Structure 1
């Protein structure tokens, strides 16, 4: 329990602040112009333990960094879960009032934030992903221009119509810039790998290269925030959750998950299958001995690579390929005996 529970509905122009105490149900709400200094003074003047919350937005990491030293606990909450805020009339003061009620009742879903150095890597990864999306769009646009006149964009370099030539020239110029920008990011990822042993350790895992390793560290930051392996796999979208009621199963549902992490592990599984590594051996073992379908074997391999990643990051240890290969051989021998 805390002496004060405080909720902030932050906007560029104004901030609505709602406050409750541990003993009283009265809610005090103010709406004032936004000022991080005034917010810090407001918190500093409260005598006792403070629990603060605000919703996950584009400014939440900045607010977290600026305010975490002024409170005993800071909860950045998931707005997707706060259905109460959509009921009835809506303005900033009402939202802050409802948010502080949910905070004191312990009904908020916390979103992970940290002042760890790796949280800044998310900005680089986000910039890289935006660059890749823009490059893919440009290349698709170029391809469609050639297909529209029944030409192969891989073999042809020019178009006949003047308007097409004009547009194609701009697209080719942007693609050239995109390739240079992509190379700049790859060089930065190589530098980050040398600078951070955590990234270098992940690169030893089959199927995970420099870019994937940086993405993993940027998204996960601290593996200890997941209580166990299953929580981590659920966050990565690699397992489904069973729906039970009255002792009866109603199937399984896919939890909300981090799509970039799922993409990394799925891609890593595809890259590791044909390689001379323990992950490739494991996939063959599932197909040949356990009679898994190719699809199920790939999915199982994705979970295995994710589990290895979780162990390496949580324990700050190197990946031991020989030990894992021996484990697979031991499993094969146990299967043949039975």
Structure 2
């Protein structure tokens, strides 16, 4: 959360709507100079702020109508601040709410340096970004039509239709339905799908040509990442715009909705919050890239498989998306292409690495003679001495080196006696492969001759 803290002489807060705007102008002392409602036109706005334009800053909440006001302020040389709607709601929420109160609260937050800022996307690339978002909307509508066709086929117990996303598999599809009304519904869906296909091809061609004009180097760097193709590269390019507006990689990953923010008070945790704060389009793009990265990529598949063993499949894919976002951040900051060797290398954050073979344990052939001579070393002068941590660790190590076998009879009492009682269930096992090496074939007692020394 970033706040606007630059001091000015006058502060203007606007509660902006499609047709009306409520303006509130405060001076440096907090006195109200203007507080009135009016039409949302450039003429009314400029006429209202004319006496205070010498050192004025204008703030408005981030809604769909801020484009024209931001462009007007940039044209007139007036400082403009875009307030983050969700953060502002958390700060100045109150009992009463109307346009007059909202305009005054925006001006007060701006004057006090407590107005959370949103990013003012530049005018040059804003229209292309909105066109790309519209293209994604059309793609989802096309997927809804295909899903309706599949559901209708299942409703009438028809055989599986296959991958009808391809045009060749949709030829003659409506003939499978005998009812005239159902056939008409399917034909309407197919006609819309064909129209969407033509429309999407035109949009993708236009967007690819425009991206090569805006930032062709960043576009092809994004294309070098496994799982990021033409469309995902366009989404990342236009949604990020300028990677330098994120001073740290943590802020960029948080903006992509790839981290959880815990609620904590007095050492107690109350779950997570703020999951909807961030860019939903970047969240979708990196989630798609994490899945597509696994296609024909054995190294990525092994990496995600190790993550899935520890966290589960869903969280493993989220961690992969998080890792891709960090890689994209450093690629754009440094102007470098994707490096698979660095990407899949283990890091200090605890990411899994390839399992290494454990070295064999060295087993001693003799036992401590001093402990064998003293059957109860924990008794001294009639007093019980608790075994030290060192002795307990030694007993555990001997039991582990004997592969769970019962300790020799010469070692009785203390920690060794407890180890012998713990080995009792092991005697009940009759499987040959589970018997230790010091057990005889004839009976169930251990071979004590090896322990005579």
Kept after mapping to 1: 8 A contact 2:38/2:44: no
Between 298-307 and 187-196, the greater mean CA deviation after superposition: 187-196
Q: Give aligned pairs, total.
A: 333
Kept after mapping to 1: 8 A contact 2:25/2:33: yes
Match for 2:149 among 119, 142, 146? 142
1:87 matched to 2:107:
no
Cα displacement (A) at 1:239: 1.4
Match for 2:119 among 112, 122, 129? 112
Match for 1:157 among 170, 174, 180? 174
CA RMSD of aligned residues (A): 3.2
Could you state the TM-score of these two structures normalised by the residue count of structure 1? 0.85
Kept after mapping to 1: 8 A contact 2:304/2:317: no
The corresponding residue for 2:61 is 55
The 3 A distance-change label for structure 1 pair 299 and 45 is: same
Structure with higher helix content? 1
**1:270-309 to 2 correspondences below 5 Å:** 270-276=291-297, 281=299, 284-285=302-303, 287=305, 292-293=310-311, 295=313, 296-309=315-328
The corresponding residue for 1:178 is 196
**1:132-281 to 2 correspondences below 5 Å:** 132-152=139-159, 154=161, 156-158=173-175, 159-195=177-213, 196-253=216-273, 255=275, 256-276=277-297, 281=299
Flag structure 2 segments of 5+ consecutive residues without an equivalent: 1-6, 163-172, 360-453
**CA offsets, 1:280-313, max 9 Å, x none?**
6366357559964563443332112101111222
Cα displacement (A) at 1:19: 0.3
Flag structure 1 segments of 5+ consecutive residues without an equivalent: none
The 3 A distance-change label for structure 1 pair 225 and 44 is: farther
Distance 2:100 2:266 in 1: 41
1:128 matched to 2:128:
no
The 3 A distance-change label for structure 1 pair 334 and 104 is: farther
Distance 1:262 1:297 in 2: 15
Kept after mapping to 2: 8 A contact 1:44/1:70: no
Could you state the TM-score of these two structures normalised by the residue count of structure 2? 0.65
Cα displacement (A) at 1:201: 1.5
Kept after mapping to 2: 8 A contact 1:40/1:70: no
Kept after mapping to 2: 8 A contact 1:203/1:213: yes
SS in structure 1 of the partner of residue 202 of structure 2: helix
